[in-house]
Amino acid sequence: MTTDSQTSQTGQDQQPKNVYEQLLEYGRDRGYKLDWLHARETFGMSLEGSREQGGLLLQDVDQGPFGYTPEHSDNLTGHPRGSLTRANAPKVGNYSVRTKADIWLRNAAQLYEEAVQRQWSSAVDIPWHTLEELPDDIERAECQLATFLTEVEFVAGDVPGKWISQTTPDYYEPRMFLISQIMDEARHMDVFRKRTLANGGGLMYQTPGVAAGGTIDSARDFTEMSARLHISGEGLVLSVFRMGERMSYNDAEKAIYRLAASDESRHVAFGVMHLQYLSQTDPERKEEIHSYLDEIEIGLAAGIGVQNPAARGFSASDALAILLGGGSDPSSMEEGYSIALAVRQRQVKEYTQRVRVAGLGDRFENGRANHALAQYLAA
């Protein structure tokens, strides 16, 4: 028989279990692990930004522990940034990129969101019905240039791919952007391939050295790769895409260059903002970046380079001259080469602007930049 005093004492010693404790006990008795049901300190945290204005973006939700990006990461287990870790989690990644400055930029999430929102389809967003029979020399030139651009876009999608698996998940924003870039480049490969075949032409001659990737593929770290690919390679192609209206002969080609330029400008912005972040947060590495730019400017000043369609001495540059000049007769070719020179001038001017935005414009004031660039900048 239990007395009133015993009942009272028992009630004081044993506080009622809360729901979480009851669930843990329930799980332990049955072999379940329900620790994850415990509410984190972030539960109930309100979001900044508006779901109604532009949708729910990565930069809206990455707050508190989920938005914190460490300067150096020891995350080799693949756990998502901000998640609770397990002591017995296996190491699934031998990530070489684990220092924030090596890959970071301040607007990677915004660029990724833009990439997602601006996806397009070569099947339905290009007015293929506007293609009409062209003079044979124009059609062959278009097919040669499109063949070259198919090769270039293969490199632009292939090279960044290996850096995705090398980057810790703690820096997931640049990883996701690079994934979107590969999707963009796949779409560019597909649209230029379709252009070669859609109007009775076909794939033409391979350009020596393009598929190998040159110095881009031999980059020793991510920053070197990005400088060579995003700042130089894709920047040069972007200048050509922006001339698309001038060298197009129908609305289909105009749409191709306009949409491809929109994608390419995003890739270039990624590289510019990465160099800007690195030069601001780790100024001791500025000299390293300048050395990459020194090498880049050798080809840029000479007007050569296997991945530049406006470069001299390649089939793509001859094709570009035919398209810009309106034909393959001597007078048209002469006019085309004159316009191609204007394209190279634009390439150099846009390159210098990118370098200035990246915080490395002092090279143009202190004599570090290649002196031969002056012939383009003065025009």
pLDDT in tens, 56-77: 888 888 888 888 999 999 999 9
Give the pLDDT of residue 69.
95
pLDDT bracket for residue 376 (50, 70, 90): confident
What is the rounded CA–CA span in Å between residue 157 and residue 161? 7
Q: Is the pTM of this model over 0.85?
A: yes
- pLDDT tens for 307-331 read 566 565 567 889 999 999 999 999 9
pLDDT number for residue 358: 97
Q: Where are the domains of the chain?
A: 100-377
CATH class entry, domain 100-377: mainly alpha
Residue 1 pLDDT grade (very low, low, confident, very high; cuts 50, 70, 90)? very low
Which of 93-97, 178-182, 341-345 reaches the highest mean pLDDT?
178-182
> What is the CB neighbour count within 10 angstroms for residue 259?
22
**Geometric angle at alpha carbon 39, from 34 and 45, rounded to 5°:** 155
Give the pLDDT confidence score for residue 212 in this predicted structure: 46
Q: Long-range contact list for 365-372, CB < 8 A, 24+ apart?
A: 368/290, 368/294, 369/293, 369/297, 370/294, 370/297, 370/298, 370/300, 370/301, 371/301, 372/301, 372/302
* pLDDT of 50: 55
Inter-CA distances, 322 with 143, 206, 329, Å: 12, 18, 9
CA distances from 163 to 2, 12, 16, 125, 372 (A): 71, 61, 53, 31, 33
**Mean of pLDDT over the chain:** 88
Q: What is the pLDDT of residue 216?
A: 77
Q: Is the pLDDT of residue 6 over 60?
A: no
Predicted confidence (pLDDT) at residue 182 exceeds the cutoff of 90: yes
* Dihedral of alpha carbons 59, 65, 68, 74, sign: negative
Asked if residues 63 and 45 have their Cβ atoms less than 8 Å apart, the reply is: yes
- Tens digits of residue pLDDT in 229-255: 999 999 999 999 999 999 999 999 999
- In order of 114, 116, 185, 217, 364, the CA distances from 180 in angstroms are 10, 7, 9, 19, 33
Query: Who wins on pLDDT, 362 or 55?
Result: 362
Residue pointed to by tokens 């894709």: 234
Whether 8 shows a pLDDT value over 50: the answer reads no
- Is 70 exceeded by the pLDDT of residue 188? yes
pLDDT for residue 291 is more than 50: yes
Helix or strand run (H / E) with residue 354: helix 330-357
Task: With cut-offs at 50, 70 and 90, classify the pLDDT of residue 48.
Answer: low
Among the residues of 199-228, which ranges form H helices?
A: 222-226
Phi, psi torsion values for 229, nearest 5 degrees: -85, -60
